[in-house]
Amino acid sequence: MLHTANAQQIRDGLVTDVYFERTRKILKAKGIDKDVRAEFMTKGLPANWPWAVFAGVEECVSLLKDLPVEVRMMKEGTIIGPDQPVMEIHGKYLDFGRYETTLLGFICQASGIATMAARCRKAAEQRQVISFGARRMHPAVAPLVERNAYIGGCDGVAVGLGASLVGIEPVGTMPHALILIIGSTVEATRAFNEVIESHVKRVSLVDTFNDEKIEALNVAKALGQDLYAVRLDTPGSRRGDFNKIMEEVRWELDLRGYGHVKIFLSGGLDEYQIRQYNKFADAYGVGTAISNAPVIDFSMDIVEVEGQPVAKRGKMSGSKGVFRCPNCFETEIVPIVERPSICKCGGRKVELLKALLSSGKIKKALAKPKEIREFVVKQLQKFEL
- The CA distance from 317 to 200, in Å, is 54
Nearest CB to Zn ion, comparing residues 258 and 323: 323
Which one of the spans 146-154, 185-193, 207-215, 340-348 is the region binding Zn ion (CB under 5 A)?
340-348
Q: Does 325 bind Zn ion (CB under 5 A)?
A: yes
Candidate list 15, 255, 342, 345; residue touching Zn ion; CB under 5 A = 345
Which one of the spans 88-96, 129-137, 143-151, 328-336 is the region binding Zn ion (CB under 5 A)?
328-336
Nearest CB to Zn ion, comparing residues 118 and 343: 343
b/e map 89-127, b = 16+ CB within 10 Å = bbbebebbbbbbbbbbbbbbbbbbbbbbbbbbbbbbeeb
Backbone phi, then psi, for 228, in 5-degree steps? -85, -45
Q: Does 328 bind Zn ion (CB under 5 A)?
A: yes
Q: Closest distance between Zn ion and the C-beta of residue 329, in Å? A: 7
> Quick one: which of 369, 377, 351 has its CA closest to 56?
369
Candidate list 57, 71, 165, 343; residue touching Zn ion; CB under 5 A = 343
> Quick one: which of 327, 333, 329, 291 has its CA closest to 315?
333
Q: Does 327 bind Zn ion (CB under 5 A)?
A: yes
Which alpha helices (DSSP H) does 200-297 contain, by range?
A: 212-223, 242-255, 271-277, 288-291
Name the maximum alpha-carbon separation found in the chain. 82
Tell me the C-alpha to C-alpha distance, in Å, between residue 133 and each of 10, 156, 258, 331: 25, 12, 30, 33
Which one of the spans 86-94, 228-236, 337-345, 369-377 is the region binding Zn ion (CB under 5 A)?
337-345
Q: Does 350 bind Zn ion (CB under 5 A)?
A: no
Nearest CB to Zn ion, comparing residues 58 and 330: 330
Residues 6 or more apart in contact with residue 314 via CB below 8 angstroms: none
Q: Does 347 bind Zn ion (CB under 5 A)?
A: yes
252-291 footprint of Zn ion as x/- string (CB under 5 A): ----------------------------------------
Residues that bind Zn ion (CB under 5 A): 325, 327-328, 330, 343, 345, 347
